[in-house]
């Protein structure tokens, strides 16, 4: 039996030795399995659907190649994400642009590239998108993002479907927004969108949201406009801790299929195409982060700190909203976990990665493996304290290669300039 933790057939200690730490590790095989699971659930439920991967969770050129290979579309929320996708050769006809405060430059770039859909996030944005589409002599397909007033049971920072939210148009203003789109010369309303939050484990909030949105599709049809697509966003919960539940995608698909069929029949509307935007569900469990243990500091009768060579700069989630992760000592995987420690990062803040976790007795040079870090770690990483962002390694079967290079000191000073008086 190996003394080291094996992740998708790869010795994590050897990966740390070969590529250095801190190190993000992503498994393409796990990405494939997650996407196949979603497709299988939706196919078995008889749904007409499309998967739009939420690029904000993790995006790079190689990830775009993987998504296109697996026939998955892409949701981008910035000019930078759009540029990344287009640079990787991603089909613009399979891209949707989101965002609560899109710049005119981003909107112009999206329409000019010929992306599939722009999701309108406010009534004032309707005129802006129409003006730019008109200037480009194009017609833009748009969805209206509505806030359905559904309170998902998750952290308040990642609840996004409430009426009091920076995201979306209050659902009671949906008809007004639809009428404004219809009166716009260069816009075509093809769908509605809502996103009720992240890390949701029950299908019930999605069913409630779908019911409200189908009712809105009926109301808009009464205006003479037929909506063909309904995007219910993402937010499928994953298990950051071993005992956490995992979102039941099969139950979700069955419940939505029945809801769509029953309510569409009652309302006399066509069953819309379902669009979902999973990000974390696909990439979260596909990733781990490897750190080297440095200082081990014990404060007698109070706490033992296990310091690693990363921290809030490469995983800001614990600092942002008290996110939790499970971890192990990768080179002592078979040792008894009987030492209560707090895993601390190297940033000049409290920088607690994991508070009070039982691990085998650790020493400097050990490799700490933190699980389920594929989502919102690399994508939210920073250069705080002028730390360089870690490399990202992609695993595929027995192969391991760099998909994002480790930053250098030259990378983080490249945009520094000297004003003329210095």
Q: What is the DSSP letter of 50?
A: E
CATH 2.40.37.10 residue ranges in the chain? 6-25+286-413
Active site residue 348: yes
Give the pLDDT score at 155.
41
Assigned fold of 45-283 = TIM Barrel (3.20.20)
What tens digit of pLDDT does each residue of 135-167 get? 999 999 999 999 998 765 544 433 444 567 788
Residues 6+ apart with CB under 8 A from 414: none
What tens digit of pLDDT does each residue of 282-339 get? 999 999 999 999 999 999 989 999 999 999 999 999 999 899 999 999 999 999 999 9
Which residue of the set 73, 94, 194, 348 is catalytic?
348
Query: Can you say whether residue 89 is alpha, beta or left, with left for phi > 0 and alpha for psi between -120 and 50 degrees?
Result: left
Nearest-angstrom CA–CA distance, 282 and 34: 5
Looking at domain 6-25+286-413, its CATH superfamily turns out to be Lyase, Ornithine Decarboxylase; Chain A, domain 1 (2.40.37.10)
320: part of which helix (H) or strand (E)?
A: helix 317-321
Those residues of the chain that have pLDDT short of 70 are 1, 151-163
Give the pLDDT score at 163.
60
The answer to whether the CB of 195 falls within 8 A of the CB of 167 is yes
Give the pLDDT score at 1.
57
Give the pLDDT score at 242.
85
Nearest-angstrom CA–CA distance, 138 and 157: 37
CATH 3.20.20.10 residue ranges in the chain? 45-283
The answer to whether the CB of 129 falls within 8 A of the CB of 135 is no
Give the pLDDT score at 166.
85
Nearest-angstrom CA–CA distance, 343 and 357: 8
């Amino acid at each position: 039996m190996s003394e080291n933790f094996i992740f998708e057939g790869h010795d994590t200690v050897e990966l740390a030795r070969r590529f250095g730490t801190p190190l993000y590790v992503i498994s393409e095989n796990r990405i494939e399995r997650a996407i196949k699971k979603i497709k299988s659930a939706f196919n078995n439920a008889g749904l007409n659907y499309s998967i739009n991967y939420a690029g904000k969770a993790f995006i790079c050129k190689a990830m775009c190649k993987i998504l296109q290979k697996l026939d998955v579309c892409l949701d981008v929320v910035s000019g930078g994400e759009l540029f990344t996708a287009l640079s990787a050769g991603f089909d613009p006809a399979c891209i949707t642009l989101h965002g609560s405060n899109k710049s005119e430059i981003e909107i112009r770039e999206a329409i000019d590239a010929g992306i599939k859909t722009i999701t309108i996030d406010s009534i004032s944005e309707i005129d802006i998108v129409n003006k730019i589409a008109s200037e480009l002599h194009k017609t833009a397909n748009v969805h209206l993002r509505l806030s359905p007033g559904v309170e998902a049971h998750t952290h308040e920072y990642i609840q996004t479907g409430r009426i009091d939210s920076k995201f979306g148009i209050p659902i009671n203003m949906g008809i007004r927004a639809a009428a404004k789109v219809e009166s716009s010369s260069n816009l075509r309303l093809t769908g509605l969108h809502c996103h009720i939050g992240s890390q949701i484990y029950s299908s019930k909030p999605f069913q409630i949201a779908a019911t409200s949105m189908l009712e809105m599709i009926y109301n808009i049809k009464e205006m003479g406009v037929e909506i063909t697509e309904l995007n219910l966003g993402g937010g499928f919960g994953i298990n950051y801790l071993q005992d956490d539940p995992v979102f039941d995608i099969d139950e979700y698909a069955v419940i939505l299929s029945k809801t769509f069929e029953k309510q569409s029949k009652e309302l006399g509307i066509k069953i819309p195409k379902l669009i979902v935007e999973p990000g974390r569900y696909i990439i979260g469990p596909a990733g781990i982060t490897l750190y080297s243990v440095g200082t081990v500091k014990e404060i007698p009768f109070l706490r033992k700190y296990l310091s690693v060579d990363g921290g809030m700069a490469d995983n800001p989630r614990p600092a942002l909203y008290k996110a939790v992760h499970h971890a192990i000592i990768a080179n002592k995987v078979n040792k008894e976990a009987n030492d209560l420690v707090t895993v601390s990062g190297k940033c000049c803040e409290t920088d607690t990665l994991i508070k009070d976790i039982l691990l085998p007795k650790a020493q400097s040079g050990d490799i700490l493996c933190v699980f389920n870090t594929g989502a919102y770690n690399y994508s939210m990483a920073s250069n705080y304290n002028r730390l360089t962002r870690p490399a990202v390694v992609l695993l595929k079967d027995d192969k391991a290669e760099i998909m994002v290079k480790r930053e250098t000191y030259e990378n983080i000073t490249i945009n520094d300039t000297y004003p003329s008086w210095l």
